[in-house]
């Protein structure tokens, strides 16, 4: 299987070289361009160097509290971050605590050797799902300890199948795997793995930190006024359609609404504007032109966290499709959450429902029920308690790295 994998990766590498001149602007073009970038020069290493690999922006948010804690304890240590996704790289390539931020090269023996020759890392930290065959093999051969943090595993994953045994055999190569939830821990324990620690998810530490450092947003503060505020966060069409159906049943809105779509392209923002035109929506960057609006559409990056600071309820997108977006961010600000039915891959969703600060819905009826629950009884303290009780994973990881 390893040979087939290598042939496949080499074929992809060759194909990307061929299509690059023909590819228009977009993530594929950015990804290929990133693979072709030369590595920037690293400063002379005065202390240890840690390599953090994050697939994309979400994984970076899990790595960030660990990086910041390490740097606070030893400012001279060196950090290098790799991304696989263009969205992660483009938003964090200027991260101040890193000596370099680069793309992870495609997984071949030669690329792995070239990367490790460049890094001279003392330890590597992979986040959540990252199991790269040749990169891990190269690290193991050089006796560089590798850690997997905030990891989750499910019986249905490929590496637990007959065809995935060659990947499963890599798991003992991690010095320690820090797991998010008990189900993952018990699954790996039954498989005979001993290099596992039930630590929790470092994102709890990250959102807790964000909640303490939030910068107030005067536009959203003014927009909310004295009313309650519902935030539709990282939304897709299914969440937007449910909200629209709900609004049509109301003679008077019981709250104001902020819509923060996952896609903030000009065309999509205009689609939302037209969809909700009966409710006189206002675009965030044009808010002063319509101060009487009941719906505010966020069309900029980076405003959602400050918006959650003012939220009374959050309806988080993604779980009517392939993946639930971040529910911990609104919970850290004391806002209970609503989301769709496809959340089985996200342990935090089940935990939040058990703690009665999250409700999963399938349709408008479920949305109505969730609103009645949250509008009648405040969940603010419960939400913050939920975050506090699940914090502390970063400290466990940092102690292991320092040792």
- Tell me the C-alpha distance between 80 and 103, whole Å: 11
Kindly report the pTM of this predicted structure. Answer: 0.86
Task: Look at residue 178 in the predicted model and tell me its pLDDT.
Answer: 97
Task: Look at residue 290 in the predicted model and tell me its pLDDT.
Answer: 64
Contacts within 8 Å (CB) and 24+ apart, 67-70: 67/97, 67/98, 68/97, 69/394, 69/395, 69/398, 70/398, 70/401, 70/402
* CB 35, CB 104: distance < 8 Å: no
Using alpha carbons, list the distances in angstroms from residue 277 to 81, 117, 153, 248, 301. Answer: 43, 57, 44, 12, 23
- Tell me the C-alpha distance between 115 and 105, whole Å: 8
- Tell me the C-alpha distance between 361 and 341, whole Å: 6
Query: Three-class SS of residue 229?
Result: strand
Spatial CB neighbours of 38, under 8 Å, sequence gap ≥ 6: none
* CB 178, CB 148: distance < 8 Å: yes
* CB 309, CB 317: distance < 8 Å: no
* The pairing of beta strand 229-235 with beta strand 313-316: parallel
- For CATH 3.40.50.11720, the residue range(s) in the chain are 13-209+392-402
CATH architecture of the domain formed by 215-389: 3-Layer(aba) Sandwich (3.40)
Greatest Cα pair distance, the chain, in angstroms, is 68
Q: What phi and psi, each to the nearest 5 degrees, are found at residue 258?
A: -110, 125
- Rounded to the nearest 5 degrees, what angle is found at the Cα of 350, between the Cα atoms of 347 and 355? 125
Q: Which residues of the chain have pLDDT under 70?
A: 289-291
- Tell me the C-alpha distance between 270 and 256, whole Å: 20
Task: Look at residue 188 in the predicted model and tell me its pLDDT.
Answer: 97
What are 228's two structure tokens?
A: 């309650």
- Tell me the C-alpha distance between 318 and 20, whole Å: 31
Using alpha carbons, list the distances in angstroms from residue 42 to 100, 121, 229. Answer: 7, 12, 47
Q: Under CATH, what is the fold of the domain 13-209+392-402?
A: Rossmann fold (3.40.50)
Q: How far apart are the first and last CA of the chain?
A: 36
- Tell me the C-alpha distance between 170 and 172, whole Å: 6
DSSP state of 358: E
What are 270's two structure tokens?
A: 């205009």
């Amino acid at each position: 299987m390893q040979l087939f994998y290598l042939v496949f990766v080499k074929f992809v590498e060759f194909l990307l070289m061929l299509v690059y001149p023909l590819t228009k602007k977009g993530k594929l073009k950015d990804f290929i361009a990133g693979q072709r970038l030369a590595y920037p020069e690293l400063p002379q290493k005065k202390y240890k160097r840690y390599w953090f690999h994050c697939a994309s922006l979400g994984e970076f948010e899990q790595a960030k509290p660990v990086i910041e804690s390490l740097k606070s304890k030893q400012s001279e240590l060196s950090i290098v971050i790799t991304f696989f996704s263009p969205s992660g790289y483009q938003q964090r390539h200027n991260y101040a605590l890193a000596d370099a931020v680069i793309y992870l090269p495609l997984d071949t023996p030669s690329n792995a050797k070239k990367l490790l020759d460049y890094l001279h890392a003392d330890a590597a930290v992979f986040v959540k799902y990252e199991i790269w065959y040749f990169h891990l093999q190269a690290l193991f051969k050089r006796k560089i300890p590798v850690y997997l943090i905030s990891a989750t595993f499910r019986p249905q994953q490929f590496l637990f199948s007959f065809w995935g045994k060659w990947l499963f055999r890599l798991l003992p190569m991690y010095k320690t795997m820090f797991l998010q939830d008990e189900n993952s821990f018990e699954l790996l324990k039954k498989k005979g793995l001993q290099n596992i620690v039930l630590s929790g998810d470092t994102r709890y530490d990250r959102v807790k930190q964000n909640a303490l450092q939030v910068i107030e947003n005067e536009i959203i503060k003014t927009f909310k006024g004295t009313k309650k505020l519902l935030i539709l966060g990282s939304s897709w069409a299914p969440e937007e359609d449910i909200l629209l159906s709900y609004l049509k049943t109301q003679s008077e809105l019981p709250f104001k609404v902020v819509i923060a779509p996952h896609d903030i392209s000009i065309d999509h923002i205009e689609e939302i504007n037209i969809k909700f035109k009966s409710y006189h929506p206002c675009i965030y960057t044009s808010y002063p032109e319509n101060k009487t609006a009941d719906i505010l559409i966020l069309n900029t990056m980076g405003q959602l966290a400050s918006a959650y600071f003012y939220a009374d309820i959050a309806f988080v997108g993604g779980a009517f499709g392939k993946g639930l977006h971040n529910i911990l961010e609104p919970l850290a600000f004391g806002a209970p959450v609503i989301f769709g039915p496809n959340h089985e891959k996200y342990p935090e969703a089940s935990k939040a429902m058990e703690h009665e600060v999250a409700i999963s819905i399938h349709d408008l009826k479920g949305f109505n029920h969730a609103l009645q629950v949250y509008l009648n009884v405040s969940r603010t303290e419960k939400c913050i308690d939920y975050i506090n009780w699940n914090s502390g994973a970063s400290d466990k990881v940092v102690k292991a790295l320092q040792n």
